[in-house]
Amino acid sequence: MTQQHLYVSEKSKILCETTINIDIEVYRKLTEAAKQRGISRSRLIAMLLEHLVWSENIPSKARGTVQHQDARPKEDWKKLHVVLPNYVHDFFDDVRKLWKMSVSYLVAFAVEKFLTQLDDNIIETFADKYWHGGHTIVHFIQNDLQYMLCCWGIPPHPPEILPFSAV
Regions in the chain scoring below 70 on pLDDT: 1-13, 60-63, 120, 122-135, 153-154, 158-159, 161-167
For residue 159, the model assigns a pLDDT of 67
For residue 131, the model assigns a pLDDT of 52
How far, in Å, CA of 105 to CA of 127, rounded? Answer: 23
For residue 133, the model assigns a pLDDT of 56
For residue 32, the model assigns a pLDDT of 94
For residue 4, the model assigns a pLDDT of 45
pLDDT per residue over 149-161, tens digit each?
Answer: 777 766 777 667 6
User: Is the sign of the CA dihedral 101, 102, 105, 109 positive or negative?
Assistant: positive
3-state helix, strand and coil shares in percent for the chain, rounded to the nearest 5: 45, 25, 30
